[in-house]
Amino acid sequence: MATLDTQILVIGSGAGGAVTAARLAESGHHVTVAEEGPWVEADAFEPFSLGEMVAKYRHHGASLALGNPNIAYAEGRCVGGSTEINSGLFPRLPDDLAADWATRYAIDEFSPDLLGRYATGIEADLGVSTLPGAPPPSSAALERGATKLGWRNVEFARAFRYDTEGRGTKQTMSRTMLPRARAAGAAILPDCAVRRLVRRGDRVVAATARRRVPGGGVERLTIRADHYVVCGGAVQTPALLQRSGIRRNVGAGLRMHPMIKIAARFPHPVDHGDVPMHRVTEFGLDLTIGGSASRRGMVAVALADTGLPFDDALADWENICLYYAAIRSEGRGRVLAVPGLPSPVVTYRLTDADLSRLARGLVHLGELLLAAGAVELHPSVLGGPVVRSLDEMGAWWDGVTRGRANLMTVHLTSSVRMGEDRRSTGADSFGRVWGCANLRVNDASLLPDAPGVNPQAAVMAIAARNCDHFLSEARP
């Protein structure tokens, strides 16, 4: 068994882990990043392609939260984590929500002004901006439909940098924070899966890992550090803590944004290379309408969700784009590491009110798409009728049931909540795990509730804040 010594071990290289590695390495600390997945060059595959899913997604994109109904979800498993596979949309955590969380969960130093300053710095680092020109047809459809209905809508900024000709490059962690961390002396270990943290008293003294080596072999590795920061995301972080015997308020309280989709056919071709930037905000954070990636395979899966014949529609797939209605769920889930199983078991229970909101969201989404000029709508509801006019949409209300709705999500949070009330949180206000003096969490697990928007911007701002708090207590 090999042994490696470092000052700070960061486990996971996504939004939280990459920020942590960069800021702590640049402060003069010796940082090692252990990433379970491989290093895949950002331009190696077309975005949202099958090749990318095989190379960069956990379980090749086929992860599932068990429940009634089940909810499919996606996790990145590569250097850079989910920032390598998401759309790059970068809305800030809403100020009123930050203020509410600070009070409700007793989070210290969590004011909207403070978070806003960190968000501004992160946005400058990544080059977050809106499109320099007109939106593509798939996004313009959202804006057009919402405007016709008198609904509020907005173009979300994205973590993209644009050249003088308007061509954008997504600012993933493998392109931004991780190169900064390496330039400051951090070591990044891809294909290195940390399986357990070893504790003595109130301190972690080692991490045991398995690392793939050239030639296909696997070596066992012990990593010893002064400090450990777990950044594996809302599923993998609590699973690691549980495997290490840390279970109090860890894994329970998982939150997500369940999504229900429509495959909308237009009388003209639409773009399929990107995710629409516009979002409908008419209904607040509890119900958001937006667009999804719409590659041919994704369109086929969406059309198949009805269980009805779809050959004719698929033959016209270049005219089809996918859109969703997402809710802030009242339901909760759980992440459970089960001995003998290689992956944790994830469960989620939607409430009846959640199903009602999803049905409402589906109907509103249908209204918007017809207003935008769509000629045919295929809902992600088993047996859900294909709709071509408003008067055909009534059947959708009763169709969104536990047995018929096909749901998915890409946003998971809240499995190791932060705050000062030890009865309901797994970590303090700055991510330090209760009962472990040198162990912190710094990822989406800390968010105490679903934010109603893509959480990447919030995760990165909070991670930077937590790093500064750590640096105020520890010196290199």
Task: Look up residue 116 and give its amino acid.
Answer: G
Neighbours of 392 (CB within 10 A): 14
Which residues neighbour 245 within 8 Å (Cβ) at sequence distance 6 or greater? Answer: 199
The catalytic residue among 29, 272, 364, 411 is: 411
Q: What's residue 43's pLDDT?
A: 86
Q: How far apart are CA 157 and CA 150, in angstroms?
A: 22
Q: How far apart are CA 291 and CA 299, in angstroms?
A: 12
pLDDT per residue as tens, the chain (476 positions):
799 999 999 999 999 999 999 999 999 999 999 999 999 998 889 888 889 999 999 999 889 999 999 999 999 999 999 999 999 999 999 999 999 999 999 999 999 999 999 999 999 999 999 999 999 999 999 999 999 999 999 999 999 999 988 889 999 999 999 999 999 999 999 999 999 999 999 999 999 999 998 887 899 999 999 999 999 999 999 999 999 999 999 999 999 999 999 999 999 999 998 899 999 999 999 999 999 999 999 999 999 998 888 888 889 999 999 999 999 999 999 999 999 999 999 999 999 999 999 999 999 999 999 999 999 999 999 999 999 999 999 999 999 999 999 999 999 999 999 999 999 999 999 999 999 999 999 999 999 999 999 999 999 999 999 999 999 987 54
Q: How far apart are CA 306 and CA 234, in angstroms?
A: 30
Q: What's residue 274's pLDDT?
A: 86
* E strand spans, 292-401: 320-327, 332-336, 345-349, 376-379
Q: What's residue 475's pLDDT?
A: 56
Edge to edge, what strands does the sheet with 227-230 contain? 187-189, 31-34, 8-11, 227-230, 439-441
Q: What's residue 261's pLDDT?
A: 98
Q: Which residues pair with 196 in a beta bridge?
A: 208
Q: How far apart are CA 31 and CA 8, in angstroms?
A: 5
Backbone angles phi, psi at 359, to 5 degrees: -65, -45
Examine the residue annotation and report whether 411 is marked as an active-site residue of this protein: yes
Edge to edge, what strands does the sheet with 412-413 contain? 345-349, 332-336, 252-256, 412-413
Backbone angles phi, psi at 372, to 5 degrees: -80, -5
Q: What's residue 476's pLDDT?
A: 45
Task: Look up residue 12 and give its amino acid.
Answer: G
Burial zone of 113 (CB within 10 Å; 0-12 exposed, 13-18 middle, 19+ buried): exposed
Model's pTM, two decimal places?
A: 0.96
Q: What is the DSSP code string of 50-114?
A: HHHHHHHBGGGG-EEEBSSS-EEE--B-STTGGGGTS--B-PPPPHHHHHHHHHHTT-SS--HHH
Q: What is the DSSP code string of 21-60?
A: HHHHHHTT--EEEE-SS----TTSS-TT-HHHHHHHBGGG
Q: How far apart are CA 69 and CA 401, in angstroms?
A: 8
Question: Which residue from 476, 256, 275, 259 is spatially nearest to 349, judged by alpha carbons?
Answer: 256
Which residues neighbour 123 within 8 Å (Cβ) at sequence distance 6 or greater? Answer: 90, 157, 457
Pairing of strands 320-327, 259-265: antiparallel
Q: What's residue 223's pLDDT?
A: 98
Burial zone of 407 (CB within 10 Å; 0-12 exposed, 13-18 middle, 19+ buried): buried
Pairing of strands 439-441, 259-265: unpaired
Which residues neighbour 135 within 8 Å (Cβ) at sequence distance 6 or greater? Answer: 143, 155, 276, 277, 278
Pairing of strands 187-189, 332-336: unpaired
Does 47 sit behind a cis peptide bond, omega within 30 degrees of 0 on the bond before it?
no
pLDDT one-digit tens code per residue, 245-294: 999 999 999 999 999 999 999 999 999 988 999 999 999 999 999 999 99
The Cα-based distances of 319 to 147, 313, 387 in angstroms read: 22, 9, 16
Q: What's residue 42's pLDDT?
A: 86
